[in-house]
């Protein structure tokens, strides 16, 4: 610990640059793929704006339970299946995955394809289930 403090004292420019780059990286990660929304915000978007839910989990996981009305396009097949989503370009689109890890990447891909109202469910389907919100297997 003493060596770390000595290093910081001897190299303030280097440490300052590191802190700035770290903050920029964190900011970039937070905004990529659209804003992260909570479960209650998703419910409001669906009820008020008829938002579309895109579940990017594999088909097997989707079949074990998903949010009612969700469309399943697995993350690894998203590049090939954008045409299925073109009719939703003007609507709010919420990306859902298992824990919120793939939804940011999927959101970034969607934004590159011209989708403007993209957001992602914070915590993914695990958070949804953790809040005891309804899922279906149909």
Enumerate the active-site residues: 97
* 57 within 8 A of 71, measured Cβ to Cβ: no
Sheet holding 93-96, edge to edge: 36-37, 118-121, 93-96, 52-55, 71-72
Q: Torsion angle, CA of 116/117/122/125, rounded to 10 degrees?
A: -100
CA nearest to 52, candidates 123, 120, 124: 120
Q: From the centroid of its chain, how far is CA 33?
A: 6
């Amino acid at each position: 610990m003493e060596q770390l403090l000595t290093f910081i004292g001897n190299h303030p420019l280097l440490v300052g640059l590191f802190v700035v780059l770290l903050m920029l990286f964190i900011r970039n990660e937070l905004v990529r793929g659209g804003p992260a929304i909570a479960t209650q915000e998703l419910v409001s978007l669906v009820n008020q704006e008829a938002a579309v839910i895109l579940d990017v989990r594999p088909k097997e996981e989707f079949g074990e339970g998903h949010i009612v009305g969700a469309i399943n396009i697995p993350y690894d097949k998203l590049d090939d299946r954008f045409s299925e989503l073109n009719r939703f370009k003007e609507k709010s689109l919420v990306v859902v995955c298992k824990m919120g890890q793939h939804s940011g990447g999927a959101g970034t891909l969607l934004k590159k394809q011209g989708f403007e109202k993209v957001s992602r469910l914070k915590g993914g389907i695990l958070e949804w289930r953790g809040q005891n919100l309804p899922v279906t297997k149909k």
